[in-house]
Amino acid sequence: MADTRTRMNLSAGLASALVAVTLVALKLWALGETHALSVAASLADSAMDLMVSLGALAAIWYASRPADDDHRFGHTSAEDLAALGQSLFILVSAGIISWAAIARLLSGEVAPIVSHEKGMIVMGASIVLTIALVLWQRRVANKTGSRVVKADSLHYLGDLIPNIGAIASLWAASWFGMEQIDSVVAIGAAIMLAVGAGRIFKGAFDALMDRSADPGLVAGIEDIARDWPGVHGFHDLKTRTAGSVIFVNMHIELDGSQSLDEAHAIGAGLRRAILKAYPQTDVMLHKDPVGVKPHPDDPSRQ
């Protein structure tokens, strides 16, 4: 299951990089043909996408490495670090786009635009490629929980509005001589990017600070443990997230008079049930005899 998630994440990262290279090449040609500021802005955004996509692909590859002597819990936190960096990058990009759009509106400068049809064809192709990529990334992120893929998907989703704005700008410039619409659309796209980047930043920051997993997932694990045959109770259920993996630690209370084999079978069965319900988890169970009292020298429970 872990190998499947890794392959899906890597496929999304590779697709992102390939699409970014294609879009940069297309928009370079379109800029040379149209001299449109809206196309230039979209080209700059795609160039930034390429850098982010390559960084995301490297993070996904590094996070997929197995645990070693120095990283006993694996390398999945690399995804959170990459998502944190991506969110900051997106926030800065949103600020620059907003500033440039406002400055353009206030200045009233108009650049001559030519070859409108060629520009619109290229931007239309960019939209189709971007939509296909975003759909695949969303599917992968929903299955694997990867914050890197989710952040990259958000970045490309934000590109749709500037691309649509570029088409609208080319069309409006061709028919009505109106180029200001591009700046208005760019401001809207920047706001959407900033809001989405804020969510990604919070999720990555919470994971790096070992925040507990989603309450719904915790409640689901509690329900499974509460009804599991042979388990008389549980305590010290702790969760934390690292990349697309959720680590679960829990003490279960068993009949102390039963054999070790019987106790192991109960714990192993419960662990398999949790993993089946939540494949993205890594579960560690500690078995306590029911009714046992903590030793005075034991550390207090948190």
Say if strands 281-289 and 245-254 run parallel, antiparallel, or are unpaired.
parallel
Per-residue pLDDT at 81 exceeds 80:
no
Confidence of residue 180 (pLDDT cuts 50, 70, 90): low
Q: Is 263 exposed, middle or buried (0-12, 13-18, 19+ CB in 10 A)?
A: middle
Least confident window among 14-23, 44-53, 122-131, 230-239 = 44-53
Higher-scoring residue by pLDDT: 83, 263: 263
Closest to 28 in 3D by CA, of 14, 45, 40, 16: 40
Per-residue pLDDT for 112 more than 50?
A: no
CA–CA distance, 37 with 70 (Å, rounded to integer): 50
Tell me, what's the pLDDT at 161?
67
Structure tokens at 74: 């694996």
Question: By mean pLDDT, which of 64-68, 82-86, 254-258 is the weakest?
Answer: 64-68
Among residues 280, 258, 254, 281, the alpha carbon closest in space to that of 267 is found at: 254
Of 41-45, 48-52, 189-193, least confident by mean pLDDT is 41-45
Across the range 85-103, mean pLDDT stands at 78
Distance from C-alpha of 105 to C-alpha of 184, rounded to nearest angstrom: 8
pLDDT(115) > 60: no
Confidence of residue 48 (pLDDT cuts 50, 70, 90): low
CB atoms near residue 7 (< 10 Å):
13
What is the predicted pLDDT for the residue at 102?
83
Tens digits of per-residue pLDDT, 229-260?
999 999 889 998 876 678 899 999 999 889 99
pLDDT band at 24, cuts 50/70/90?
A: confident
Q: What is the mean pLDDT of residues 100-122?
A: 66
* 241: phi then psi, degrees, rounded to nearest 5: -115, 140
Q: Averaged over 206-214, what is the pLDDT?
A: 76
Of residues 97, 95, 89, the one with CA closest to residue 184:
97
Average pLDDT over residues 65-90: 69
Give the CATH H-level superfamily of domain 2-208.
Answer: Cation efflux protein transmembrane domain (1.20.1510.10)
CB-side neighbour CA atoms (13 Å) of 236: 15
At residue 219, the pLDDT reads 93
Q: Are strands 233-242 and 245-254 parallel, antiparallel or unpaired?
A: antiparallel
HSE-up (13 A, CA, CB side) for residue 86:
35
| Domain 215-289 listed as CATH 3.30.70.1350 | yes
What tokens does 291 get? 């009714």
Domain limits of the chain? 2-208, 215-289
Q: Which residue has the higher pLDDT, 234 or 161?
A: 234
pLDDT tens digit string along 4-13? Answer: 777 787 788 7
Going by pLDDT thresholds of 50, 70 and 90, the confidence category of residue 120 is confident
| Cβ neighbours for 247, distance < 8 A, ≥ 6 positions apart | 73, 239, 240, 241, 281, 282, 284
What is the amino acid identity at position 167? I
Q: Give the per-residue pLDDT at 177.
A: 56
Is the predicted pLDDT of residue 170 greater than 60, yes or no?
yes
